[in-house]
Structure 1
Amino acid sequence: METVDDVYQTDVLIIGGGGAGARAAIEAKKHNVDVLVVVKGLFGRSGCTVMAEGGYNAAFGFIDKEDNEQYHFEDTVIGGRYLNNQKLVEILVSQAKRRIIDLERFGGAFDRIAPDKLSQRYFGGQRFRRTVHKGDRTGHEIMFALREEATRQNVDILEEVAITSLLTSEGRVVGATGLDLIHGRFLLFRAKAFIIATGGAGRIYSITTNPFQKSGDGYAMAFKAGAALVDMEMVQFHPTGMVFPSSSKGLLVTEAVRGEGGKLYNSLGERFMARYDAEKMELSTRDIVTRSIFSEIQEGRASEHGGVHLDISHLPDETIKQKLDTMLKQFLDVGIDIKRQPMEVSPTAHHFMGGIRVNEVCRSSISNLFACGEVSGGVHGANRLGGNSLAETQVFGAIAGEYAAKEAKKLPYGDIDYEVLDEEHDRLYRFEEGEGALPYELKSRLQATMWQNVGIIRTEKSLKEAIAEIKKIKKEICSIKVESGLRYNLELLAAVDLENMLLVAEIITRAALLRKESRGAHFRKDYPGEDRRWLKNIILSKIKDGIEIYTEAPLITKMKP
């Protein structure tokens, strides 16, 4: 216990303060339990939700009256290539409308076509205009509303603390350890129920839309605690990230650009999506648009800086200013006026369809451990439709908060194994004694390996090369060196993150190697077709000697392939 600098005790501990974590906290507070949200960055400002631009899917049918929940369900399952847990999809589509009404009640204000009707736009893979939005700042509006409500509900928040491990006893989670990034303190958290809402792991790739906090912490700590993961090979590469300048490479160019009528052209001036999906064109599903752009680049039809052109100059200036204001300013900052000039774009690592395997109340395979948002798996199957992730944060954030609170009311605090606690302390602070490479050097190697070998196009050879490189980096991490001192030691954080990144990278790669077909976001050049025999989820869990991998049929409730 001497190694612990401070102890926090609460009923429900929520790890992560983005859209899902914030919504979980608001819901849990309704059940008269103590709630503490611990955030690696700043609450509501450091996750992916606040960066989300395009919109939130809810089948109101305000513009296209034919739209309904059944069509939303079908589009989601078809887009996910039938790997979705259909029970979770049913919950998503049935509760999405209620949750966005909650957001307006909390203080959010979304675009309208009439006082009682929200505006909705097209998004890829959807047959109707279903995506509710606030210009191209939808995520920002959602987080504004959630922060306001969390303040009203007196939610306790602890910022700039990285949770590093979950402590278990007798088959349940009893605590968590944390690194105070400001002061370098080692912290212990005790709780009765736990919610992981840490988002994805885009930072394991060299080109990504994700902020630096997204290093896969939630996947890693849940896996090490004994929770099962699912569909981890399914990594979505957003079709359109910025290409130029290099400092902006990978920065998101929202799907709303294509939803409002943006057109893709190669260097020959061809509107090339006609070759890949002549019916849906630019509004095909993200996996198809991504591979189409990648093919154009690989086959020598790239733009000046190695991307393709995305053009909206045919739209009225007022439409661009009103509906795509963030994009207008983002490109004006680098000297491009998108009202007159095309954007240069190329794919960028964006979202993880897989994650912690949960049931319909967001419970993992550990009874008092819940997960919601991008860190959970099962809703999206092999490919996520744009606009479904913001809906997911609110629908399943509320569910996780409710059921974690109910679980906490039934349980006493568990016993902490202080020997394990001391081991975790020593694991974190051992890097100060290293004499090898800097953590950033090893991190860059891992990111390059994942982008080149476990990216948009995969083969058995590339995947095996990635596993070999991951093993090499794992050996080198033992002698990694960081600067001394505890106060905001970003090198120490990078070293701790790297261990999580290596574990998540290996899990993704092993799952991708096992899936000998192409489905959704997972494309194997050596197995380019979809194989009905592989209509099954890949499940991964921890065993004494490493990783156990097995398969199960997806849960089908309404829609067979």
Structure 2
Amino acid sequence: MNGSISYQEALGKYHIQKQSEKGFPAVELSLDEKQLLTEFHPDHRHETITNLQVGPNKGDRCHKQIADVLQADSRIDAADLAGARIRETDVLVIGGGGAGCAAALMAAESGAKVILTTKLRLGDSNTVMAEGGIQASIEKGDTPQSHYNDTLKAGHQKGNKELIKKMVMDGPETIRWLIQQGMQFDLNQFGDLLTRKAGGTTANRVVYFRDYTGLEMMRVLRESVSNSDIDVWDYSPAVELLSNESGHCAGAIISSLEECRYIQIKAKTVIVATGGIGRVHLNQFPTSNHFGATGDGLVLAYRLGAKLRDLDSFQYHPTGVAYPQHLSGTLITEGVRSSGAFMINALGKRFVDELKPRDIVAAAIIRECREGRGVAGNNGMRGVWLDTPGLEAGNPGIIKQRFPKLMKLGLKSQIDITQVPMLIYPTLHYQNGGVVIDENGQSSIEDLYCVGEVSGGIHGRNRLMGNALLEIISFGRRAGAHAAKNRKSRGHKQISIDHISNLRRELMQNGMPMSTKSPLLFPEYAQYDSEKNITIRNSSTPHCGVCD
């Protein structure tokens, strides 16, 4: 990066310029949007892209860090399963976020016996990190067609049209279903749902609850699951999928972190809803993702033979905290910009329309910093200002009323955000690609469903604010109902992990190292109890291997 202007100097310019410019127009981009993305968006860093050498996507473009986990050896082999307990169920849901809970609820409602396993606790997920809201065409003058058009355009025309169609048509019913579950939304004085506009859209379409919509959604989903007959297994990540004699998905190997042993779950259908991959920190970016977002579902599905797509496309949310360092990457909702907050460079100038699609806005911020118009924080990070004081000045009380989570973030940063702007920089936020699915969330492997961020095709190469929360409920419910209906009357005759042998053979034939193990389960900086690990290693009991 080129030199940037110091924090204190830029803060002085911010005050002077903000007070002197009536209307405060954004500066027109001197580059067209395609050139801006090519030169500044992280997806276009050619040195980070490779071609996969093994698996169903052999030859396809893929980010190198994703390729490393997709083309790694398994954590287990057949000997690890000797003496492992076996449980059976109709539907196994892997993942306890919004998509997993929605799928489990619909499967249980359809009469299936359901086990839901989650790496951490039920609800620990990217869903609770989502702040901005949910898109649904419920306003007069808005239509599902407009929602469809906006989604397809924002994704650079690369989204699966049938999947987008299903999602936007599900929008209004999704909101009704969530309200029936007990979810709250912000209302006007007449009791109608408030809406706001997302970047890259043509209408006010996002319904929300303050600036913690995802947390509120997860609250009601967690309550609904807890009040059902769904068998929830906390601290139980999946480390491998099982297949039957026909190559269909037949369950999973679960690693019990509490008992430190493997458990086999035989299932007639399996729904993977493990979320994204932000904690791999692609391109060394900070992330807004929760601690368990390490791409486990991509690895498990790929090993079994599921086709993936768009493995070189990721979303970097424009407004992640850049300073202070210990909060780096923390999300600031797009709703702040939707409500009128500007982004301002170190010279006190606006430099982009804040409600352009997210990839455009993120690339514009990176450009300002690279070309010396960024603000230099004391932690070595660069960024630009988010003009929260300007928003508050134009709408007194709006931050406290509409954005209480942001207010708390300001307190953690020791900043009065009604008086001082926040320093922001893009944060790794979302995995645009994933497992190829159909309209019911079914992958290319029979009896294996993948929903939520682990799936691909809906958002193309860039996602709109509010479409993620819509997608997880829309396709979570679809997958849950279809998986329950599709379950066979009899279980599988034979189950195995033979596909691991095929993986190892292919890795060796291509001269690839066998030292790396996946799924990762946790970030590389996670700490484990080494003494407990020694005890487990010296035991004859099959252990979970997480501490390896």
Q: Give the shorter-chain TM-score range.
A: 0.7 to 0.9
Q: How do 1:415-434 and structure 2 match up within 5 A?
A: 415-417=494-496
Match of residue 289 from structure 1: 361
Residue from 426, 429, 452 that aligns with 1:373 = 452
Q: Cα distance, 1:283 vs. partner?
A: 0.5
Check conservation: 2:304, 2:499, Cα contact below 8 A.
no
Q: 1:263 to 1:38 in 2, by over 3 A?
A: same
Deviations 1:348-398 (A, max 9, x none): 111011111001111100120011111111100011001100000110000
Aligned to 1:493: 546
2:155 is matched with which residue?
Answer: 80
CA contact (8 A) 1:482 1:491 kept: no
**Is 103-112 or 408-417 further displaced after alignment?**
408-417
SS at match of 1:81: coil
Conserved? CA contact 2:133–2:466, under 8 Å:
yes
Secondary structure at 2:376 match in 1:
coil
The 8 Å contact of residues 235 and 354 in structure 1, kept in 2 or not, is answered as yes
Aligned to 1:505: none
2: distance between equivalents of 1:201 and 1:494?
Answer: 20
For 1:224 and 1:154, locate their aligned partners in 2 and report how far apart those are by CA, in whole Å: 31
* CA positional deviation for 1:409: 3.8
Cα distance between partner residues in 2 of 1:354 and 1:483 = 35
CA shift for structure 1 position 187: 1.1
Q: Is contact 1:57-1:391 (8 Å) kept?
A: yes
CA distance in 1, matches of 2:184, 2:99: 19
Matching of residue 153 in structure 1 with residue 228 in structure 2: yes
2-side partners of 1:125 and 1:262: how far apart? Answer: 16
Paired residue secondary structure (1:174): strand
How many angstroms apart in 1 are the aligned matches of 2:150 and 2:354? 16
Classify the secondary structure of the residue corresponding to 1:118. Answer: coil
Paired with 2:372 and 2:343, the residues of 1 have a C-alpha distance of 16
Equivalent residues in 2 for 1:50-129, closer than 5 Å: 50-61=128-139, 65-129=140-204
Structure 1 unaligned blocks of 5 or more: 274-280, 425-433, 446-479, 496-561
Alignment-mate amino acid for residue 179 of structure 1 = S
- The answer as to whether partners of 1:4 and 1:187 remain within 8 angstroms in 2 is no
Aligned length: 437
| 1:155 maps to amino acid | I
Q: Which residue of 1 aligns with 2:261?
A: 185
The equivalent of 1:200 in structure 2 is: 276
Match of 2:344 in 1: 265
DSSP 3-state at the match of 1:380: coil
Q: Which amino acid aligns with 1:58?
A: A
Which digits, 9 at most, give the CA deviation of each residue in 1:74-120, with x for residues without a partner?
Answer: 00000011101011111111111111111111111111125552111
The yes-or-no answer on 1:25 pairing with 2:104 is yes
Query: How far 1:435 moved relative to its partner?
Result: 12
TM value normalised by structure 1: 0.74
Q: Which residue of 1 aligns with 2:252?
A: 176
Q: CA deviation at 1:485?
A: 3.9
Q: CA deviation at 1:410?
A: 4.9
SS of 2:173's equivalent? helix
User: Which of 301, 304, 311 in structure 1 is aligned with 2:373?
Assistant: 301
- In the alignment, is residue 244 of structure 1 matched against residue 323 of structure 2? yes
Kindly indicate whether residue 334 of structure 2 is the aligned counterpart of residue 255 of structure 1: yes
Please state how far the C-alpha of 1:483 moved relative to its aligned partner.
Answer: 4.9
Aligned partners of 2:154 and 2:464 also within 8 Å: yes
Q: Which moved more, 1:228-237 or 1:217-226?
A: 228-237
Who is 1:321 aligned against? 400
Alignment correspondent of 2:534: 484
**Matched letter for residue 48 of structure 1:** N
SS of equivalent to 2:178: helix
Q: Indicate yes or no: 2:212 matched with 1:137.
A: yes
Q: One-letter code of the match for 1:11?
A: D
TM-score (norm 2): 0.75
Matches of 1:484 and 1:232 in 2, distance apart? 37
* Cα drift, residue 4 of structure 1: 3.8
Go from structure 1 to structure 2 and tell me whether the alpha carbon gap of 1:423 and 1:37 turns closer, same or farther (over 3 Å shift): farther
Q: Secondary structure of the residue that 2:162 maps to in structure 1? A: helix
2-structure distance, mates of 1:42, 1:376? 22
Going from structure 1 to structure 2, the CA distance change for 1:418 and 1:307 (only over 3 Å counts) comes to closer
The answer to whether the 8 A contact 1:4-1:188 is kept is: no
- Summarize the alignment of residues 159-170 of structure 1 with structure 2, pairs less than 5 Å apart: 159-169=234-244, 170=246
Task: Return the alpha-carbon distance in structure 2 between the equivalents of residues 423 and 180 of structure 1.
Answer: 26
Aligned counterpart, 1:463: none
Report the Cα distance in structure 2 between the residues aligned to 1:155 and 1:491, rounded to whole angstroms: 24
Is 1:39–1:160's contact at 8 Å kept on the other side of the alignment?
yes
* Structure with greater contact order relative to length (CA < 8 Å, sep ≥ 6): 2
Structure 2 counterpart of 1:9, from 88, 102, 106: 88
1:288–1:177 distance in 2 versus 1, CA, 3 Å:
same
Q: Distance in 2 between matches of 1:358 and 1:90?
A: 14
What is the identity, as a one-letter code, of the residue corresponding to 1:493?
V
Q: Give me the whole-angstrom Cα distance separating, in 2, the residues matched to 1:481 and 1:383.
A: 45
Q: Which runs of 5+ in 2 are unaligned?
A: 1-78, 504-513, 538-542
Could you say what secondary structure the match of 1:283 adopts?
coil
Q: 1:411 to 1:86 in 2, by over 3 A?
A: farther
What is the CA deviation profile of residues 233-263 of structure 1, one whole-angstrom value per residue up to 9, with x for unaligned ones? 1111111111112211111111111111110
Distance in 1 of aligned mates of 2:125 and 2:189: 32
Question: Once the 2 structures are TM-superposed, how far is the Cα of residue 30 of structure 1 from its aligned partner?
Answer: 1.4
Q: Which residue of 2 aligns with 1:523?
A: none
2:158 partner letter: L
CA distance in structure 2 between the aligned counterparts of 1:180 and 1:237, rounded to whole angstroms: 33
